[in-house]
Amino acid sequence: MVERVVAVVGATGAVGREMLRTLEKRRFPLSRLVALASPRSAGVELPFAGGKVQVQALGPGSFRGVDVALFSAGAGPSREWAPVAAAAGAVVIDNSSAWRMDDQVPLVVPEVNPGAAANRPRGIIANPNCSTIQLVVALQPLHAAAHIEHIVVSTYQATSGKGHAAVEELHAQLRQLAAGESPTPSVFPGQIALNVISDWKPGRDGYSEEELKMVNETRKILGDASIGVTPTCVRVPVETGHSESVHVRFREPMSAARAKELLRSAPGVELREGDYAPGGEPQPLQAAGRDAVFVGRVRDDLCVPNAINLWVVADNLLKGAALNAVQIAEIL
């Protein structure tokens, strides 16, 4: 197996650190790891493969000799530096929103559309939004069998999706409430502890940017612009693990029994079966630190023909970000 030089841009962030752990855990064949971040993080040492790797400041010469560059530094740095990395000969796998809807950049989930990674005119492959990834992993085998007509999805997204500072704010607010104090939000637009809020930027037509990402990305990954997607995204006081309640209507016959049959052998999916029981559904606490997309509560809709409802949970830092990016690197 050919070993590669791999760079991780944004290595000190929550997803960047998870990328390092995932590369190590999956024994990605690399000859050298380059950890990159902003100048203020230069010199920081991060654990990797039983030793430490020193973070270097991101700059024009950072990508000499690099074969694969995993980016998790935000849309701004990605727009600036991803073309630089690609021009230097690296294949860029970008975790930000910067390139996802670019016609010359494939948007890839390896369990769903791995072949798309081969056509990358810009030398860049985009990692989808975390909530989209787990949705399409669960729905791809069903779509292939019966052609999805309409998806109604409500997300319950963990605070770690907003970064490490958001998780710290959740913990701080919980401590403040326990002490009888009023929380003072700074990362979130309001109190997140013991609460549910929508904290994404406005999009259009009353939808948030996050919700519109789910619409556009789902259609691009599944390769069908005719699929209807109606999303509602909220943030919940959970540290790690996104959950989704999903209603799916199909153009061809589909039942819960058939869906379970398809999901049992679907790549990347762990199906939770059995009759309904309190606490028996997949939960974010159980999904944290695990690679699979967990699907449960698969049931026929009570009113709509050829429609089912299901519950989907995954670790947003792993399959929703770092793991998906490393899996893309593995299939190149």
Catalytically active residues are 130, 242
Backbone angles phi, psi at 7, to 5 degrees: -110, 140
Contacts of residue 78, defined as CB under 8 A and 6 or more positions apart, other chains included, come to 71, 94, 96, 98, 99
Contact status, residue 7 vs residue 85, Cβ threshold 8 Å: yes
**For the stretch 281-320, what's the b/e string if a residue is b when 16 or more beta carbons lie within 10 angstroms of its beta carbon?**
bbbbeebbebbbbbbbbbebeeeeebbbbbbbbbbbbbbb
Contact status, residue 310 vs residue 297, Cβ threshold 8 Å: yes
Count of alpha carbons within 13 angstroms of residue 210, beta-carbon side: 18
3-state secondary structure of 138: helix
CA 245 to chain centre: 16
Side chain identity at residue 174, one-letter code: L
The token duo for 63 is 């990508």
CA angle, 149 as apex, 147 and 154 as ends, to 5°?
A: 115
Q: Is the four-CA dihedral 134, 154, 167, 55 of positive or negative sign?
A: positive
